């Protein structure tokens, strides 16, 4: 079937990445599949943490009330559940890196729903050992359409991940916080006023918060976060 799939995609390049139905728009997700995805519409207005569905007004989550994050806003397309988990895995582990373009188109739509006008995109940096192992940084790949269409640069050398942090999976919020502290550093000047951090999945938010603190320390005035999916916080 692999070869058949390849032939098909060569003949019909625009197919829904979920149901394979032919699509005419540049986003390779059909309307039905798009609507059935778990959109993160009801969420904390500051950090995009998914909230219970009954809430239909702007509200802050308990964690933001306790302590405001260093970033000024966060938007996440989806909740990290159902088909979105598969989509992110296919992207991250390189089976379907081609999905990055469609994801980037969807992220751009999400950003355009807001009034935010970042002057630079900062894909969350990977440590060089992880980059070598994976061969690409998925957050850079999902930034490309946004960068091209808004004519803003992707910053991928001024901020580096200097320490290879153990995988964050399985750690609670406190442990993640400790794990990530000092993991990034700025190695050249950041001539930006408003930076948009791009991430694949935002879980506790400690990684992007650490980056946001660093950016602000280095003179950036406004920092936002745009991610494919936001996971609910456990513990
Ligand atoms: Zn579909
Ligand atoms: Zn929040």
User: Could you tell me the distance, in angstroms and rounded to a whole number, from the CA of residue 146 to the centre of ligand 2?
Assistant: 25
Instruction: Give the pLDDT confidence score for residue 235 in this predicted structure.
Output: 47
- Across 105-119, average pLDDT: 96
Q: What is the pLDDT of residues 140-167, one digit of tens each?
A: 999 999 999 999 999 999 999 988 776 6
Q: How far is CA 189 from the centre of its chain?
A: 24
User: Could you tell me the distance, in angstroms and rounded to a whole number, from the CA of residue 231 to the centre of ligand 2?
Assistant: 12
What distances in angstroms separate CA 39 from CA 22, 35, 61, 83, 90, one per listed residue?
22, 8, 18, 11, 19
User: Could you tell me the distance, in angstroms and rounded to a whole number, from the CA of residue 150 to the centre of ligand 1?
Assistant: 27
User: Could you tell me the distance, in angstroms and rounded to a whole number, from the CA of residue 12 to the centre of ligand 1?
Assistant: 14
Token reading at 210 = 């650490």
User: Could you tell me the distance, in angstroms and rounded to a whole number, from the CA of residue 66 to the centre of ligand 2?
Assistant: 9
User: Could you tell me the distance, in angstroms and rounded to a whole number, from the CA of residue 233 to the centre of ligand 2?
Assistant: 11
Q: For residue 23, which ligand has an atom nearest its CA?
A: 1
User: Could you tell me the distance, in angstroms and rounded to a whole number, from the CA of residue 127 to the centre of ligand 1?
Assistant: 35
What distances in angstroms separate CA 201 from CA 18, 169, 194, 206, 211, one per listed residue?
19, 12, 21, 12, 15
- Above 70 in pLDDT, residue 5? no
Which CATH class for the 38-230 domain? alpha beta
Q: What is the pLDDT of residues 174-210, one digit of tens each?
A: 787 888 888 999 999 999 999 999 999 998 899 999 9
Longest dimension (CA), the chain: 54
Q: For residue 18, which ligand has an atom nearest its CA?
A: 1
Residue 185, burial from CB neighbour count under 10 angstroms (0-12, 13-18, 19+): middle
**Domain coordinates in residue numbering, the chain:** 1-36, 38-230
Instruction: Give the pLDDT confidence score for residue 61 in this predicted structure.
Output: 92
Q: For residue 63, which ligand has an atom nearest its CA?
A: 2
Phi and psi torsions of 17, nearest 5°: -70, -10
Confidence of residue 6 (pLDDT cuts 50, 70, 90): low
Average pLDDT of the chain is: 89
- Tell me the β-bridge partners of 160: 185
- Across 222-230, average pLDDT: 97
- Above 50 in pLDDT, residue 133? yes
User: Could you tell me the distance, in angstroms and rounded to a whole number, from the CA of residue 164 to the centre of ligand 2?
Assistant: 27
Comparison of pLDDT for 17 and 171, the residue scoring more? 17
User: Could you tell me the distance, in angstroms and rounded to a whole number, from the CA of residue 13 to the centre of ligand 1?
Assistant: 14
Strands 184-186 and 159-161: antiparallel
Instruction: Give the pLDDT confidence score for residue 234 in this predicted structure.
Output: 62
User: Could you tell me the distance, in angstroms and rounded to a whole number, from the CA of residue 184 to the centre of ligand 2?
Assistant: 23
User: Could you tell me the distance, in angstroms and rounded to a whole number, from the CA of residue 216 to the centre of ligand 1?
Assistant: 41
Comparison of pLDDT for 94 and 198, the residue scoring more? 198
């Amino acid at each position: 079937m692999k070869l058949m799939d390849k032939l098909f995609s060569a003949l019909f390049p625009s197919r829904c990445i979920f149901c394979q139905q032919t699509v005419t728009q540049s986003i390779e997700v059909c309307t039905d599949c798009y609507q059935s995805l778990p959109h993160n519409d009801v969420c904390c207005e500051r950090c995009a943490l998914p909230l219970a569905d009954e809430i239909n007004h702007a509200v802050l989550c308990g964690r933001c009330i306790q302590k405001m994050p260093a970033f000024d806003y966060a938007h996440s397309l989806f909740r990290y559940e159902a088909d979105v988990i598969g989509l992110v895995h296919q992207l991250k582990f390189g089976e379907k890196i081609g999905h990055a373009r469609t994801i980037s188109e969807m992220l751009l739509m999400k950003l355009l729903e807001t009034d935010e006008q970042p002057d630079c995109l900062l894909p969350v940096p990977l440590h060089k050992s992880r980059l070598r192992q994976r061969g690409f940084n998925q957050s850079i790949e999902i930034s490309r359409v946004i960068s091209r269409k808004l004519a803003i640069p992707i910053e991928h050398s001024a901020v580096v991940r200097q320490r290879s942090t153990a995988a964050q999976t399985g750690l609670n919020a406190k442990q993640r916080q400790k794990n990530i502290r000092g993991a990034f550093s700025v190695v050249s000047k950041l001539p930006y006023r408003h930076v948009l951090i791009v991430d694949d999945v935002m879980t506790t938010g400690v990684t992007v918060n650490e980056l946001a603190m660093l950016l602000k320390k280095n003179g950036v005035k406004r920092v936002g976060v745009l991610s494919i999916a936001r996971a609910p916080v456990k513990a």
